[in-house]
Structure formats: C-alpha cells, structure tokens
Amino acid sequence: MSGGTNSTEMTATPATRVLGVSAVAATALMILLGLVISPADVVQGEAVRMLYLHVPSIWIAYGSFVLTSFSSLLFLARSKRRPDGGRHYDRLAGSAAEIGVLFTAITLITGMLWGKVTWGTYWQWDARLTTTVLLFVTYLGYLALRRLPVDPMVRGRRAAVMALISFINVPIVHYSVDWWRTLHQKASLSVGRRPEITGEMYWTLLYSVLTVTIIAAWLTVHRYRVIRLEELRDEETLEQLISSRRNEETADTAEPGDTI
Amino acid sequence: MSEVATVATGWGLTFVVVVTYSLWVVSRGRAIGRELGIGEAESPGSKRDTDLTTDS
C-alpha cells in the first residue's frame, strides 16, 4: 500500500497484480496436472479428474464462510468502538461470502456431473447434497440481505447475525457423510485420517487446492475493493443530494432582492 | 454422457463461471472508479484517494 487519504483501508494494486499473474500461471499448471499428467482411476476412470475441481471448490467455500463468520463476529464486537464503525470487517465478510457462494455453485455443478457418471443420476436428496444446496441458498439469502437499501451500519449488523446463523450449516455439510448414511463418498482428504488417494492423484489434489486458494484470494481482494468503491459512490451521491436539497432550501427562504 | 465429455463439461463450466465472475468484478471496479474519477490524472492536493485504482 502506498500513502493516500484512505490508504490503510485500500488494497495494494501491485500485490493484486502479482496475485493475479500467479493465479493464471498456477491455473495453467493445474490444467496440465489435472487433465494430462495425473492418471485415470482404476474404478472411476477419467471421471476422477472432477475431483481436482470439486474438492478444492468446497474447501474454498468452507474457508470463505469461516472468513465471513470471523469478520462478522469482529464487526459486531468492534463496530461501536472504532471510528469507522468497523466497516472494513463488514466489507470483508461480504466479499468472502460472495466468493463462498461462487465456489459452492461450482461444487454443486461439478458434483452433479460427477454423480451422473458414478451414480447414474445428477441429483439425489441425500444428506450431503441436501445440506450443500441449503448452504448455497442460505448464503444467497445473506447476499440478498446485504443489498437492502437501509443504513449501512444497521444492514451490516443484520448481515453479521445472519452470517453467524448461516455458518451453523458448514460443519453439518462437512460431517454429513459421517453422521448419516449417504450416497456421497467420505472425504478424500481429512485431518487425522489416512487419505483415500495417493501418489500423483494426491499431489495433484493438493496442488489444485493451492491454485484455487490463490484464485479465491485474488477474487476476494478485488471484490472487497469494489464494495469500498460502491460505498464511496453511495456516500458521494448522498452528499450531492444533501447539498442540492440545502441549496433548494436556501433559494426558497431567500427573500426577493436578497443577494447570495 | 461419456466420462471424457463429463470431465470436459465440468472443467469448461468451472472456468466459464470463474472467468465471467472475475471479469464482472474488474469491470465493475473500473466503471465505478471512472464514475468517481479515481485513477485519472489529478491536480496536486486533490482530496480524492489515488490508491483506489481500478486496474487488476
């Protein structure tokens, strides 16, 4: 970040450029690894290549929703103590939630396609799929709430509460395959559990997670910046309206012959 | 749908979704930046925040 009026609140352009170039380069290598170098599975065949999109997408969605909840919590806790009302926490929550929704949508799309090949159907109302679609719809509601035309601080508090309530579903989605009998397979990678895959497939999956993380970070930073720009525009519009109204009032109250 | 067609559709749709969203975010930033006059040449001492550039 360089110096400026609001420099502490802004994102650094050189850094986002580096992040953007890294995302493009990492994606190129991910395509090579995921579609060419990594082998087909003995059971699932070529369809296993969906793994390199499906698993990273839901991990990023989880991560984004964790960030949304954490930022919302900080917004609620600190909004009254900070001079700016802690609105940067609200902005971060909003940008992360949008990225989370995007990657949940990708998880659902890739999962449905993968399901058609492995299960013979695009959709099944089993625990994992149902809770995931509920997660998607809930956070869509959160994003809709953020667009309500009310005072930004009031809207921020309402959105923060909804973000915290919505987050309850994240562990339910993750553990649904352990808690209930589902058509969906258990997690390919899980902390404290031996991975279900090994070798080139394992490393390709880890690399895909890294790549999608870089992409999500770039998107989150840019979305944050756009939210800030939207706020500046709204503030400027409001100032213009107030100024215009004051001018009208001054003109109305000025008696004929008065000089302004 | 064959396995290869499924994989191609999945990867293709994913990239279309991500690229479309990325372009939307960048273009929206640039559009609002232009509206606010951010990123344009400014006179010294201007109050406008020059850090809010809209380039990617």
Domain count within chain A: 1
CA-based nearest residue to A10, from A210, A183, A204, A228: A228
Give CA separation, A6 vs A84, A230, A250, A258, B48, in Å: 11, 15, 33, 41, 9
- Residue B55 to residue A13, Cβ atoms within 8 A: yes
Residue A15 within any structural domain of the chain: no
Sign of CA dihedral A172, A127, A139, A211: positive
Residue A5 within any structural domain of the chain: no
Q: Is the pLDDT of residue B47 over 50?
A: no
Cα of A30 to nearest chain B Cα, Å: 11
Q: Is A45 on the interface with B (CB under 8 A)?
A: yes
**Helices A87-118 and A152-167: angle between axes, nearest 10 degrees:** 40
Q: How many CA atoms lie within 13 A of A21 on its CB side?
A: 5
Q: Are the C-beta atoms of A188 and A196 separated by less than 8 Å?
A: yes
Residue A242 within any structural domain of the chain: no
How far apart CA A39 and CA A48 sit, in angstroms, is: 9
Q: pLDDT means per 10 residues in chain A (260 residues)?
A: 39 77 95 92 88 94 97 89 81 96 96 90 91 96 93 92 96 90 73 72 94 96 93 84 84 64
Residue A42 within any structural domain of the chain: yes
Q: Are the C-beta atoms of A98 and A144 separated by less than 8 Å?
A: no
Residue A4 within any structural domain of the chain: no
Q: Which residue has the tokens 């999956």?
A: A205
Q: Which domain holds residue A122?
A: 21-182+200-234
The tokens describing A224, both together, are: 């944050």
pLDDT of residue A73: 95
pLDDT of residue A93: 96
pLDDT of residue B44: 42
The residue of A30, A222, A227 whose CB has the most chain B CBs within 10 angstroms, and thus the best one to mutate to test that interface, is A222
- For residue A35, the 8-state DSSP code is I
How far apart CA A135 and CA A225 sit, in angstroms, is: 25
Q: Which of A6, A117, A233 sits opposite B3 (nearest CB)?
A: A117
Q: Are the C-beta atoms of A225 and B25 separated by less than 8 Å?
A: no
Q: Is B41 on the interface with A (CB under 8 A)?
A: no
pTM equals 0.84
Can you give the C-alpha Rg of chain B in angstroms? 19
Residue A254 within any structural domain of the chain: no
How far apart CA A98 and CA A220 sit, in angstroms, is: 8
How far apart CA A119 and CA A185 sit, in angstroms, is: 11
> pLDDT band at B45, cuts 50/70/90?
very low
